[in-house]
Chains A and B, each alone.
Chain A
Amino acid sequence: MLGSFDYVIALLGFLTEAYVVVRLCLSDSFLRYFSLTVYMLAVVGITIGQDVVLLKFGVSSPLYAYVYYYTDALLTISLFFVIMSFYHQVFRQMSVGKYVRWASVLLLSGTALLSYLIVRRMPNHHLTSRFVVEMSQNLYFVGVVLTYLLWGAVVKLRETRTRLIQLVLALGIFFSADAACYALRNLFPGLEANFLKWVPPLAGLFLPLAWAYTFTKISENARLETARVALPRMAAHQHS
């Protein structure tokens, strides 16, 4: 049974995602953040699709569970392309675009292979709750690793674009909160009913909110020293 809080979060998330899409489509940065726009557009479309299934079949129906978790996995994988576009921006001056493209192809193939192996391992190929939790945990963790490496590159290469810095950090918060949540659900299934069930929707709301904030308040020309932002140890490493 969904409560009013769930509906408020869902509505706020939907409106913010739509806002980001409109904002980017109307701005000069549309092509620069093309992957991000496509991702946000996909989120908006999938949210509408999920709501239709929810209204038709109910929150406890197996069909809604299938739609929710599979579309969530697809969105997570498509978010990897957003990370790749950030890598592309960070490494642009080093002319390594070709390698980034190859890395994205390899990453997608690797993720697809891993998912296939997980599905094959499961008896009857059913979408059991344990399988869903394990798959989501692994996908989000891949996201954490990729974003962390990207953040390391941002710090090391002394990237100063405030927008890019904030977009990457918001992505890192989103992935790590979700990965930690699914890992905790895997370890302690009893915790889900209490507070873990709130983490994915809140993290899902945080990401478009943070991105909307960045695109609204931070101009493309704004600059920030990464040494001011990174943790002291990372910043010290940057100067070495």
Chain B
Amino acid sequence: MIAALICVISVAAFLQFFISYSRSIIAAYRKSELSEQVREVVGIEGQEVNSDQFGRLVQLVRLCPQKGDDRTDLKVVGVYYWMMGVVRSAARQLAPRITSWAERERAGCAYFVAVALDRRIAYSRDLLAQQMSDR
């Protein structure tokens, strides 16, 4: 009985801590504005990114040379995006408010990947410029 209680409370606490941890990583990227170039490449209008673009953005990020400092962030946010997808599907019939919250979170994840892509493109451009100057 005690083990069951501990299990339920711990799983609930785990979800809350994990959600907050993922949001703390995403929040740091929220402050960055997307460059015109990335918006053009991805086809984004304004500063909002559609949650469905997450997969495509991840594919584009993988094509860019790694700066090496965002891999962990991308993994954590990828798990969080997937988790929010599960929440959205599960709550669709029962709680529309939770569905729209999960959708906003997914859009936040997509925005995060767009910023990561932006940074990687800038990094690639710097690398190219450096190589050109070395020649």
Chain A, Cβ-Cβ closest to B9: A144
Does A173 lie within 8 Å of B28, measured CB to CB? no
Query: Which positions in B face A, CB cutoff 8 Å?
Result: 3-4, 6-7, 9-11, 13-14, 16-21, 23-24, 27-28, 30, 69, 72, 101
How far is A28 from B69 in the complex, measured between Cα atoms in Å? 22
Residues of B near A141 (CB, < 8 A) are 6, 9-10
Most chain-A Cβ atoms within 10 A of its Cβ — which of B10, B27, B101?
B10
Shortest distance from the beta carbon of A214 to any chain B beta carbon, whole Å: 10
How far is A225 from B20 in the complex, measured between Cα atoms in Å? 12
Say if the beta carbon of A228 comes within 8 Å of chain B: yes
Does B23 lie within 8 Å of A229, measured CB to CB? yes
Does B10 lie within 8 Å of A173, measured CB to CB? no
Does A177 lie within 8 Å of B101, measured CB to CB? no
Q: Is the interface of B mostly helix, strand, loop or mixed?
A: helix
Query: Which positions in A face B, CB cutoff 8 Å?
Result: 137-138, 140-141, 144, 147-148, 151, 162, 165-166, 169-170, 172-173, 175-177, 179-180, 183-184, 186-187, 209-210, 213, 217-218, 222, 224-225, 228-232
How far is A148 from B20 in the complex, measured between Cα atoms in Å? 12
Shortest distance from the beta carbon of B63 to any chain A beta carbon, whole Å: 24
Does B23 lie within 8 Å of A228, measured CB to CB? yes
Known: A169-B24, A224-B27, A231-B16. 14 other contacts (CB 8 A): A137-B6, A141-B9, A144-B13, A169-B17, A172-B16, A175-B13, A176-B11, A180-B7, A187-B3, A187-B4, A217-B69, A224-B24, A228-B30, A229-B23
How far is A147 from B23 in the complex, measured between Cα atoms in Å? 18
Shortest distance from the beta carbon of A128 to any chain B beta carbon, whole Å: 16
Does A162 lie within 8 Å of B24, measured CB to CB? yes
Does B6 lie within 8 Å of A179, measured CB to CB? yes
Chain B, Cβ-Cβ closest to A148: B13
